[in-house]
Amino acid sequence: DSGVTQTPKHLITATGQRVTLRCSPRSGDLSVYWYQQSLDQGLQFLIQYYNGEERAKGNILERFSAQQFPDLHSELNLSSLELGDSALYFCASRQTGTPNTGELFFGEGSRLTVL
């Protein structure tokens, strides 16, 4: 158990719909990262938040948005869903207050299927 919690584990929806994925980082971790994993693209970095503020953006579509709340949990919002958005979405957090060793703690992921 990494200590990172993601909900829901599975989600099936239709094209054009909007979904929200939720992540609770490990206790005390201020940084939250969102990744998308598809079969042919590996782990694609989407966006990072640190203590409520956006810190870095990766290959995140304009239809996607995220935020981190005062209690440090984060939500990833995916709208106008397309078939190609079907993927595993991972949240990860990093230990705060130490040099960046590159170690991220990943949740179990949310599997999104768009029909």
Partner 1 sequence: GQQLNQSPQSMFIQEGEDVSMNCTSSSIFNTWLWYKQDPGEGPVLLIALYKAGELTSNGRLTAQFGITRKDSFLNISASIPSDVGIYFCAGLASGGGADGLTFGKGTHLIIQP
The residue (of 48 and 78) whose beta carbon lies closer to partner 1 is 48
Asked if 102 interacts with partner 1 (CB under 8 A), we say yes
Secondary structure letter of residue 97 according to DSSP: S
Please answer whether residues 89 and 21 qualify as being in contact, where contact means their C-beta atoms are separated by less than 8 angstroms: yes
Exposure of 65 by Cβ count < 10 A (0-12 exposed, 13-18 middle, 19+ buried)? middle
* Residue of 23, 24, 25, 31 interacting with partner 1 (CB under 8 A): 31
Binding site for partner 1 (CB under 8 A): 2, 4, 31, 33, 35, 40-43, 45, 48, 55-58, 90, 92, 94, 100-104, 106-109
